[in-house]
Structure 1
Amino acid sequence: MATARRGPIVAPVNSPDARELILLAGERTIAERGPDVALRDIAVAAGQRNNSAVHYHFGSRDGLIAAIIERHQPALESRRTELLADHEAAGAPDSVAALVAILVRPMFDVPYAGGSTHYARFLEQARAHPAVTGPNLHEKRWAATRVLVARLYRAMPDLTPAQRRYRLQGMTTVMFALLADYERQDLPTAAERDDARDSIIAMIVGLLTEPVDHGTVRASGSKPPGIS
């Protein structure tokens, strides 16, 4: 006798499994379609028949975006804390390259160990959201990031305070874009992945450390190549 075909198992809207499915679906859907994607589409992507499932668990779009960040933040900060402790135990100087590596390297592994597939692309799409760009670094949960940002600021003495602040702000935008591009590539070999990771860190270091040469752009009213 033929066995009846069953549809996908759907977690009840009030179950912990449903919450986790919505987090993963929200991350993926926002990464692919932007932060303004309809919340009912996220619920459908999570296998929820109730279109209000996102509101049930997170209250709003802002609540969902903040929860996606919070899903990964403890593990990311824990890994940064470990790397920072190793750095200090080795007595290594606080170079920009060393500090950037501690800040960025966990982003290549930690979210994906937790089941994510689109986290970097989600951050690129949601980067203007306060949960992404404006966390309170004085909160205990951001302890490692706060230390790293403060040390990066001190590690750029050749720049003015305004230049240092501007570059650290720009670093976030550039970092998210580079990480999203890396995630999209899905490089097949470990050697290719290692090379791409090292290149991303080197590009961020260059962003923070390259001296300003006002004369190159301003002399005789000249403009950078490619700008008409």
Structure 2
Amino acid sequence: MQIDDSRAALLDAGERLIAERGVDVPLREIATAAGQRNNSAVHYYFDSRTGLIEAIVDRRMNWLEDRRMQLLAASEADGTAHDIRTLVAMLAGPILELIGRTGVTHYGRFLEVVRAHPVIADARRLAGADRAAVRIIATRLTAALAQLPPRRRRQRLETMATIMFALIADYERTLEAGLRTPDPGDADEIVDMIVAMLTVPATDPAATRADEPTRPAESGA
């Protein structure tokens, strides 16, 4: 097995086993699942558990970034660049496209598992906040929710990633279990649920300080 093939096999095995069993799955089991006889293979290729997780995230991130840039360009052309639903679809849609590709079967569940685990020291990296497309989408989402009091707006945008990853992971689970088959409307339904959470009117806006600063959302692995 060539070095590139060995590395890719470890990434595949790590993504699957972390998704199925959690981030603390023994590294030797990841190595065995990848066809490696050396139990230290993960350390050899990635230095540590954190290095493996970051590598799994990074290998998908470039494709997601490119796809979101394409969607941003299309939204500029058709005049929907600041529409809330369009912006949410740019975050969730590419992940759903990705897990629909051959060989990508556990990425949604992997993201759900690792996003809140302390092994990820920099949540911004996992969210893709260092990528231009995510920064643009986050800034526009913040502006699109200007009708909400600042604290509510910040809370909803920070919660959006949790809900998005949970919905995508659950969808991926049901596909694998055979409880549903892919449908063209699946992405629309997930986006609709996220948008509903973001836009539901605040019940007690007077109780929220209007002068509290708001940070842009940083979500969208």
TM-score (norm 2): 0.83
Q: Are 1:177 and 2:203 an aligned pair?
A: no
Distance across 2 between alignment mates of 1:197 and 1:155? 21
Amino acid across the alignment from 1:35: V
Structure 1 residues 138 and 71, CA, compared in 2 at 3 Å: closer, same or farther? Answer: closer
CA distance 1:132–1:69, shift in 2 (3 Å): farther
Q: 2:85 matched to which residue of 1?
A: 97
Give identity over the alignment, percent.
Answer: 50
Q: Which runs of 5+ in 1 are unaligned?
A: 1-10, 216-228
* Secondary structure at 1:178 match in 2: helix
Amino acid at match of 2:203: D
Give the equivalent residue in structure 2 for 1:155.
144
Matched, 1:44 2:28: no
**Does the CA-based 8 Å contact 1:76-1:106 persist in structure 2?**
yes
Distance 1:214 1:78 in 2: 40
Moved over 6 A (4+): none
How does 1:16-31 map onto structure 2 within 5 Å? Answer: 16-31=4-19
Count residues with an aligned counterpart: 199
Counterpart position of 2:52: 64
Equivalent position of 2:194 in the other structure: 204
Contact 1:101-1:201 within 8 A present in 2 as well: yes
Question: Counterpart of 2:158 in structure 1: which amino acid?
Answer: Q
CA RMSD of aligned residues (A): 2.0
Q: Compute the TM-score of the two structures, normalised by the length of structure 1.
A: 0.81
Asked which structure has the greater CA Rg, the reply is 1
Q: Which amino acid aligns with 1:174?
A: I
Native 8 Å contact 2:81 2:87 kept in 1: no
Q: Find the aligned partners of 1:79 and 1:115 in 2 and give their Cα distance.
A: 18
Partner of 2:72: 84
Between the two structures, name the one with larger relative contact order (CA 8 Å, sep ≥ 6). 2
Aligned to 2:213: none
Aligned to 2:156: 167
CA distance in 1 between partners of 2:33 and 2:158 (Å): 33
